[in-house]
Amino acid sequence: MGANAFKQSSEHQPSYLQKFGGLNSPEGTHQAKRPVRLLAAPVSRSFCTVPDQPAFDSISRYRERPWEYLESEGGYQTKPISAKSEIAQCQNGEIKELVYRSVLNVGGVFAEYIEKYGSQTVWADYRRNHKGGIPPQKTRKTCIRGDKISGNPCPVCRDPKIQVDYRNVKLLEQFISTHSGVIHDPTRTGVCMKQHKNLTRAIDTARDHGLLPFRVPFVEFKMEDYSNSHGAVTKTPPPGEAGQAGPWYSWYQWNQPPEKEIAKVRQVYHKYLKEEEPVAGQ
Partner 1 sequence: MPGHKKCPTDGRSPQFSDEEVQNILTKITGLDLQKAFRPVKQELKPPTYRLMTDAQLAQATQKAIQIAKERLKMPPVLPERKPIDDVLAEDKFLEGLETVKYVFTDITYNIPHRERFIVIREPGGTLRKATWEERDRMVQLYFPREGRRLTPPPVFKEENLMVVFLQDRHEDILDLCLVQFEPDSPDYRRVHKLTYEDIDKHGKYDLLRSTRHFGGMVWYLVNGKKIDGLLIDMIQRDLIQDTASVIHLYHMLHPRGSSAKEAGEQQAQGIDLVKIFTRTESQKAGYVELALQAYQETSTERSAQSSSP
Residues in contact with partner 1 by the rule CB under 8 A: 179-182, 208-211, 213-221, 223-226, 228, 230, 232-236
**What is the Cα–Cα distance from 15 to 46, expressed in whole angstroms?**
12
Residue 232 CB, nearest distance to partner 1 (Å)? 5
Smaller CB separation from partner 1, 37 or 179: 179
List C-alpha distances in Å: 137 to 134, 158, 166.
Answer: 8, 21, 26
CB-nearer residue toward partner 1: 92 or 236:
236
Sequence length of the chain is 282
Task: Report the phi/psi class of residue 240: left, alpha or beta, with left for phi > 0 and alpha for psi in -120 to 50.
Answer: left
HEC string for 242-257:
CCCCCCCCHHHCCCCC
Minimum Å gap between C-beta 199 and partner 1 is 18
**Complex with partner 1: residue 218 or 272, whichever CB lies closer:** 218
Minimum Å distance from CB 226 to partner 1?
5
Nearer Cβ to partner 1 (129/255): 255
By beta-carbon proximity to partner 1, the closer residue of 50 and 223 is 223
Neighbours of 67 (CB within 10 A): 15
Q: Quick count: other Cβ atoms within 10 Å of Cβ 112?
A: 17
Shortest gap between Cβ of 221 and partner 1 (angstroms)?
5
- Closest approach, Cβ 177 to partner 1, in A, equals 8
Q: φ, ψ for residue 156 (rounded to 5)? A: -85, -40
Q: Which is nearer to partner 1, 178 or 267 (CB)?
A: 178
CA 146 to chain centre: 19
Q: What CA–CA distance (Å, rounded) separates 100 from 58?
A: 14
Give the ranges where the chain is alpha helix by DSSP (H).
15-19, 26-31, 53-64, 113-117, 169-173, 186-189, 193-208, 259-268
- Residue 263 CB, shortest distance to partner 1, in Å, is 17
DSSP at 160: T
Q: How far is the CB of 255 from partner 1 (least distance, A)?
A: 14
Rg over alpha carbons for the chain, rounded to the nearest Å, is 35
CB nearer to partner 1: give 159 or 165.
165
Longest Cα separation, the chain: 119
Q: How far apart are CA 220 and CA 105, in angstroms?
A: 54
CB of 260 to partner 1, least distance (A): 13
Closer Cβ to partner 1, 112 or 173, answer by number: 173
